[in-house]
Amino acid sequence: MVSMDTLTIKTENKFRSLVTKQAYTKGQVICEIPTEKVINKANRYTVQIDRDRHTEVGKLSALNHSCDPNVILDTEHLLMVACRDIEKGEELSFFYPATEWEMDAPFICLCGASNCIHVVAGARFLPLSTLEQHYLNRHIRELMVELLNNTELHLTKLLADAEK
Choice between 112 and 162, CB closer to Zn ion: 112
124 Cβ neighbours under 8 A, 6+ residues apart: 101, 102, 143, 144, 147
Choice between 68 and 104, CB closer to Zn ion: 68
Least spacing, CB of residue 121 vs Zn ion, in Å: 12
Choice between 19 and 111, CB closer to Zn ion: 111
Choice between 31 and 62, CB closer to Zn ion: 62
Consecutive H or E run containing 47 = strand 46-50
Angle at 37 (CA atoms; ends 89, 71), nearest 5 degrees: 30
Using CA atoms, how far residue 95 sits from 66, 105, 108, 163, in Å, is 5, 15, 13, 43
Choice between 82 and 117, CB closer to Zn ion: 117
Contact positions vs Zn ion (CB under 5 A): 67, 109, 111, 116
Q: How far apart are CA 85 and CA 138, in angstroms?
A: 24
Helices (H) and strands (E) in the chain, counts: 2, 12
Least spacing, CB of residue 10 vs Zn ion, in Å: 20
Distance of CA 137 to the CA centre of its chain: 8
